Structure 1
Amino acid sequence: MLKTRIRYLSRYQDIITALYHYGFGQIVRDLGLLDRTKKRTKKKRAQDSSLSVAKRIRLLLEELGPTFIKLGQLASTRGDLFPAYVLTELENLQDNVPSFAYQEVKDIIEVELEAPLEKLFRSFEPVPLAAASIGQVHRAELPTGEKVVVKVRRPGIERTIETDLAILQDLLELAEERIGWVKRFRLVDLFHEFAEALKEEINYKNEAQNAERIRRQNSETQHLFTPVVYSSHSTMKVLTMTYVDGTKITDATYDKGFNQEIVAERFATGMFEQIFVHGFFHGDPHPGNVFVTKENEIILIDFGMVGRLTTDMRQNLALLVLGLKGRNTDRVMEALFRMDIVHDHVDRDRLWDDLDHLRLKYYDIPMADISLAEAVQDLFNVANKHDCIVPVDLTMLGKALLSVEAIVSSLAPTLRIIDIVEPFGRVLIKERYDPLNFAKKVQAEFQEGMETLRYFPRDMRKTLKDIRGGKLKVNISIREIHHLIQKVDRISNKLAFSIVLLSFSIIMAGVIIGGSLTAEPTILLQIPAIEIGLVITSLMFFWIIWAIFRSGRF
């Protein structure tokens, strides 16, 4: 416990020092972070003030290490939340970390695979091909002769990430209390989302499963391949895959013997098939993760980040694309509602106006010149303006589309992305309205309804039991209570007025009728109680009238 506390305090010192160094000392003061350290924080010399805020954010994340670099890379997918100039810098985040020693690599592999390195591999290069914040990659050869790459997780990275995430959560919760804009950007919710993604990424078993799934779904896809994962040589900390002998896609140019048009078309088609047909796609297809063989075949690597789209989401996405192409505001708005991007309390008129303004932006531009990724990103920005939460997989989709369009435009500027996407959209729309699929959906909804009906008596009994036990909770806002009280006051005052008026009328009618039935004075009329009652009733009547009108709730 003491070691953990010391580690946390030491890390707090590092974070505070880095914040001051890159010109974010005001955040330290606003959060009161200096009170959390036992000794005075040593301030490093401030960075050049001429650097932009975005560049200083990138340098800060790089200095703070693996956790912050990975969170920054994940944040670069959220174009719906952060401005473009920040996203551009975040995309340039580099893992400026040295490689770790070969002996450590050897020890990790032997512990994980429970065998000596010499028996596991025929050859193993001690110098890594690349080193990153999470791990590093070595070339090797299996005893059966296959050339492979072995990714080994950095020692101690799990504990480092655990410490950083705990401190980040603490800081963000503190920031929500003290800094207004933090809550507006929902940074705590965003942090939890990123933290889960990071925990998945450092577990190489997840990456192996992602790679295998994409490889299986691409088995019938021509010209796009993924490396084979060797499960016998893979664990949470070690991942062994086929070695990829290829050229980075942005370097696959005509002068190097590649056909740029074919490469761009095959890459885009393969990615859109993953997105629109299978609904499971590579979440980070930047040039460093896409290679090309001499035969113009595409090979994807690094499957730590993937996106998932349900059938309904893909069909609604197709509606969205068709709405954008047809410049139909109503269809675009309908697609946003069906995708659960827009919540029930949104001002629909204002949302429609913003979407129509977006339609006018693209009105005079030929469809071939419209960037699908930019159009989708504009839609997400509109949704964010109305405090709508865009699902994680859709933001990852937007990021993937941006990467695909950037690569295609650099290789084949004349290739029209919309022409490649449109056939997939038509297939999805056809699937949506296919009678057989419609019947299956109705059957599924009917079964769900029958399940609800089946458990209705049990749920009703539980609700009644809660009511009897006083456990039923009803949430009413203060504003709603105020309106409710006003309505009850008006109703009760009108009811009281009516009752008093009715009783007064009955008494008066009785006196008049009684006097008219006989010419002789009766005992009833001779009793002074009637006069007294009339006086009291009249006084009560006028007092209630005065009280009601004075309250202003009549």
Structure 2
Amino acid sequence: MIKKRIRYIQRYQDILTALFHYGFGHLVRDLGLLDFVRSPKKKKDAKYYRSTAERLRLLLEELGPTFIKLGQVASTRSDIFPDYLINELTKLQDHVPPFPYKDVKAIIEEDLRAPLHEIFHSFDEEPIAAASIGQVHRAELPTGEKVVVKIRRPQIEKLVLTDLAILEDLIGLAEERLIWAKRFNLLDVFHEFAEALKLEMNYREEAQNTERILRQSEDDKYVEVPEVYKDFSTKRILTIAYIEGVKITSIREEDGYNPSEVAENFANGLFQQIFVHGFFHGDPHPGNIFVKKDGKIALIDFGMVGRLSTEMRQNLALLVIGLKSRHTDKVLKALKNTNIVQDHVNQELLRDDLDALRLRYYDLPISEISLGEAVQDLFAVANKHQCKVPSDLTILGKSLLSVERIVSSLDPDLRIMDLIEPFGRTLIKERYDPRRLSSLFKNEVVDSIELLRDFPRELRALTKSVHHGKVKVEISVPEVDRLINKIDKVSNKVAFAIVLMSFSIIMVGIIVGASLTSEPTILLQLPAIEIGFVIAILMFIWIIYSIIRSGRF
């Protein structure tokens, strides 16, 4: 940690000084990092007196791309953070000016190894959009196809990796020193975020995600995905087909669009990705969704995606059915099947909270229940009981909320639960399909045969390890803290007894030595025997008292 702080001293100071400026100086003090703070401004500005959540959002925006992305990811974790903070973090924006065209040109020519005018027939110097990681330009290929080219910001990777190293240090320090940080398992959340951000900076990952969604959508009558031009794409460049369309929240009936039909097509297209394919757009906000003249929904920006296994999708269907039927045990069973509920969780208390959640929705018609909010409420209950919610499920919760908001803005009468129910029924049928059950049974039989076949060899290996004394034994002590405290007390008393014995030996040595010399010394003039005797008696009485009080004699 010390090496990181020295290596990144300038950035450390920027971050810690910004924390002070926005009213989080107590956090820096509790982490013991006051020495890294530059002298903050004496006069507090208006930002200081805003709410904690708003100050945090402004702080993240000031600190730049890494922290903005961190806040955006945190806004999806309603299982960890409170609603007032989530609501504020959803407002995070990338207020980033575009970088110069000369840098764009240099990156393209370096990665594609040719002059820009030979690579593209035309290339707009002014970007159509700029964000914290990269910016987008319109262009035309030599073969005439219109495309958009996304270029990563120069030096952004170095900045992000520096910030990630500092954040890992600060969060690790917080978990060591602050109880609330340890309770939230912030380091685990951070590692998930760091991995996702590193993937997002690699445009090859986004290209692969786009191509996979494109293959899934070939026969989809609702959704369209742009083609990726691999020959014009690298780790820092992504070139895809240009989409002619209108942002989904900007469509109007007078322009020939049917908002109700668009809303239904959009929802069905996303549910097809989630419940049928298990690979879906992880950030379906209005800026990533366009409506074409033929009514098809065009999706872009697959930097964040969610993944759900077949088992996870079927358990999710059970969850929906449990919510729809308001059946607490079905909901609990679905949570267990998704590995959200671990062995250490008090399932009786969890069931009580789930029952309270069921009662909250009991009097509401099913058409008025928000699936996204219900899933978020479930995650909040899971977090209360220290259950670990997989990141893909939190992405799912965010995606469902985004879908519901967009759908309700287009057609307030259209209910998500009515659209999602057919997908749930299909998944339940698949779960109990005789062919699937037969396949599962066959796999179990094969696994059992393999286990029986390997058993003699494993037994011989175990016997050999025992014979050579190489068996590793792990002991789990439920009350390990209490045991450690008792060991500490015993060791302290032993040390105390040793000190007493040492003191007695030294006293005897001093007295004997002084008595054997004929020269008068300062020691002979002092009442050493009396002083030593009194100290020894007091220490002896203290040890006897401690032993009697402990009841271990």
TM-score normalised by L of structure 1: 0.84
Displacement of 1:197 in angstroms is 0.5
Indicate how the Cα distance of structure 1 residues 470 and 481 shifts in structure 2: closer, same or farther if over 3 A, else same. farther
CA contact (8 A) 1:466 1:472 kept: no
The residue number in structure 1 matching 2:26 is: 26
Displacement of 1:480 in angstroms is 8.0
The residue number in structure 1 matching 2:239 is: 240
Letter in 1 for 2:32: G
CA deviations 1:209-249 (Å, max 9, x no partner) are 00000011011110310111000100100000011121111
Q: Percent identity?
A: 61
Q: Quick one: distance in 1 between partners of 2:114 and 2:452?
A: 57
Displacement of 1:7 in angstroms is 5.7
Q: Quick one: distance in 1 between partners of 2:474 and 2:446?
A: 30
Displacement of 1:450 in angstroms is 3.1
The residue number in structure 2 matching 1:475 is: 475
Q: Quick one: distance in 2 between partners of 1:356 and 1:254?
A: 44
SS of the counterpart of 2:139? strand
Q: Quick one: distance in 1 between partners of 2:106 and 2:402?
A: 37
Aligned pairs (5 A) from 1:355-394: 355-394=354-393
Displacement of 1:19 in angstroms is 0.4
Letter in 2 for 1:46: K
The residue number in structure 2 matching 1:98 is: 97
Bigger Cα displacement from structure 2, 186-195 vs 466-475: 466-475
Q: Quick one: distance in 2 between partners of 1:171 and 1:457?
A: 50
CA contact (8 A) 2:4 2:165 kept: no
CA contact (8 A) 1:153 1:238 kept: yes
Letter in 1 for 2:308: L
CA deviations 1:316-361 (Å, max 9, x no partner) are 1001100110011111111111111101121111111111111111
For the pair shown, the structure with the greater C-alpha radius of gyration is 1
The residue number in structure 2 matching 1:528 is: none
CA contact (8 A) 2:5 2:12 kept: no
The residue number in structure 2 matching 1:43 is: 40
Aligned pairs (5 A) from 1:306-455: 306-455=305-454
Aligned pairs (5 A) from 1:61-140: 61-140=60-139
CA contact (8 A) 1:210 1:303 kept: yes
CA contact (8 A) 1:249 1:290 kept: yes
CA contact (8 A) 1:23 1:47 kept: no
CA deviations 1:448-486 (Å, max 9, x no partner) are 333333333343344334434244122221538999xxx
CA deviations 1:280-312 (Å, max 9, x no partner) are 000000111111112221000100000000000
Displacement of 1:435 in angstroms is 0.5
5+ residue gaps in structure 2? 484-550
Aligned pairs (5 A) from 1:74-223: 74-223=73-222
Aligned pairs (5 A) from 1:270-281: 270-281=269-280
Indicate how the Cα distance of structure 1 residues 459 and 350 shifts in structure 2: closer, same or farther if over 3 A, else same. same
SS of the counterpart of 2:132? coil
Q: Quick one: distance in 2 between partners of 1:113 and 1:280?
A: 30
Q: Quick one: distance in 1 between partners of 2:83 and 2:4?
A: 38
SS of the counterpart of 2:240? strand
Indicate how the Cα distance of structure 1 residues 478 and 264 shifts in structure 2: closer, same or farther if over 3 A, else same. closer
Q: Quick one: distance in 1 between partners of 2:235 and 2:352?
A: 50
CA contact (8 A) 1:463 1:472 kept: no
SS of the counterpart of 1:267? helix
Letter in 2 for 1:360: L
The residue number in structure 2 matching 1:516 is: none
Letter in 1 for 2:30: D
Indicate how the Cα distance of structure 1 residues 92 and 480 shifts in structure 2: closer, same or farther if over 3 A, else same. closer
SS of the counterpart of 1:455? helix
Q: Quick one: distance in 2 between partners of 1:413 and 1:222?
A: 23
Letter in 2 for 1:334: K
CA contact (8 A) 2:245 2:290 kept: yes
- After TM superposition, where is structure 1 displaced by more than 6 Å over at least 4 residues in a row? 3-6, 480-483
SS of the counterpart of 1:137? strand
Q: Quick one: distance in 2 between partners of 1:346 and 1:116?
A: 61
Indicate how the Cα distance of structure 1 residues 449 and 111 shifts in structure 2: closer, same or farther if over 3 A, else same. farther
Indicate how the Cα distance of structure 1 residues 263 and 175 shifts in structure 2: closer, same or farther if over 3 A, else same. same
Displacement of 1:4 in angstroms is 8.5
Letter in 1 for 2:20: Y
Alpha-carbon RMSD: 2.0
Q: Quick one: distance in 2 between partners of 1:250 and 1:321?
A: 28
CA deviations 1:32-72 (Å, max 9, x no partner) are 1123x3xx613145342331111111111111111111111
SS of the counterpart of 2:238? strand
Q: Quick one: distance in 2 between partners of 1:355 and 1:99?
A: 48
Indicate how the Cα distance of structure 1 residues 24 and 114 shifts in structure 2: closer, same or farther if over 3 A, else same. same
Q: Quick one: distance in 1 between partners of 2:456 and 2:145?
A: 62
The residue number in structure 1 matching 2:282 is: 283
The residue number in structure 2 matching 1:250 is: 249
Task: Name the count of aligned residue pairs.
Answer: 481
Displacement of 1:99 in angstroms is 1.1
5+ residue gaps in structure 1? 484-550
Letter in 2 for 1:374: E
Displacement of 1:168 in angstroms is 0.5
SS of the counterpart of 1:362? helix
The residue number in structure 1 matching 2:526 is: none
TM-score normalised by L of structure 2: 0.84
Q: Quick one: distance in 2 between partners of 1:481 and 1:88?
A: 39
Indicate how the Cα distance of structure 1 residues 462 and 365 shifts in structure 2: closer, same or farther if over 3 A, else same. same
Q: Quick one: distance in 1 between partners of 2:478 and 2:405?
A: 51
Indicate how the Cα distance of structure 1 residues 53 and 473 shifts in structure 2: closer, same or farther if over 3 A, else same. same
Letter in 1 for 2:469: G
Displacement of 1:257 in angstroms is 2.8
Q: Quick one: distance in 1 between partners of 2:460 and 2:45?
A: 66
SS of the counterpart of 1:150? strand
Bigger Cα displacement from structure 2, 88-97 vs 136-145: 88-97
